[in-house]
Amino acid sequence: MQLLVFLGPPGVGKGTAAERIVTSLGFLWLSTGDRLREAQRSGSLFGQRVTEYMNSGRLVPDELIIELVESEIATLAPSTRLLLDGFPRTLPQAIALDENLARHANQVDLVIELQADQDELVRRIRGRSQTDGRTDDTLETLQHRLEEFHRQTAPLTEYYQSQGKLQVVDARGSLDEVFESVRLCIGEYLAVDGEDAPRHHD
């Protein structure tokens, strides 16, 4: 399995870039946010449990989300190229993921962090709130989500940097520009099947 992780704050465009990576590079896309929204819509007990966290802009507890991701990964064929979007978001999630993958002789191969400044994020979320109908795209919730990001997710940058797996992409440009930077990054650091291992990591 090849495993790519997308890191970045809410509104930075992870989902949009992911969509294009999936269609053009043959990745399977696992967005924990999308899975949770599906669970909400299904009205399941799990969906009801996560709703209060999501609607207030807080992170769903680690144990719930780790179980969700691990059970999905367990179903995947060894040849899968997997793009994780929105997971991990905390250090315990990242450590649990590493441990789970190691048990199956797998690992995270590349982490791409999309970066944009706060004004840009607010502008994008405002735009999205008018088109996507997400109940957590209010300004108040966004504030909580940004706080959660800085408190819980930002430490992952150092975690993956120390593993030599982190690449940063400037996400301020147009959709085409961001996609192109991500595509180049994947081409440079992630071997495609039959090629040698990634050439280098910083």
How far is Cα 28 from Cα 79, in angstroms, rounded to an integer? Answer: 11
How far is Cα 193 from Cα 189, in angstroms, rounded to an integer? Answer: 13
Among 3, 18, 36, 169, indicate the residue that binds ligand AMP (CB under 6 A): 36
CA–CA–CA angle 38, 141, 145 (5° rounding):
80
Q: Which residue is nearest to ligand AMP (CB)?
A: 33
Residue 83 binds ligand AMP, judged by CB under 6 A: no
Residue 87 binds ligand AMP, judged by CB under 6 A: yes
Residue 8 binds ligand AMP, judged by CB under 6 A: no
Place of tokens 């408190």: 151
Sheet holding 166-170, edge to edge: 28-31, 81-85, 2-7, 110-115, 166-170
- Closest approach, Cβ 183 to ligand AMP, in A, equals 21
Nearer to ligand AMP, 147 or 177 (CB): 147
Using CA atoms, how far residue 118 sits from 8, 92, 107, 154, in Å, is 12, 26, 31, 14
Among 2, 32, 51, 181, indicate the residue that binds ligand AMP (CB under 6 A): 32
| x-marked contacts with ligand AMP along 37-66 as a string, rule CB under 6 A | ----------------xx--xxxx----x-
Single out the residue of 138, 141, 142, 118 nearest to residue 129, CA to CA: 138
- Closest approach, Cβ 194 to ligand AMP, in A, equals 32
Residues that bind ligand AMP (CB under 6 A): 10, 32-33, 36, 53-54, 57-60, 65, 86-87, 89, 93, 136, 145
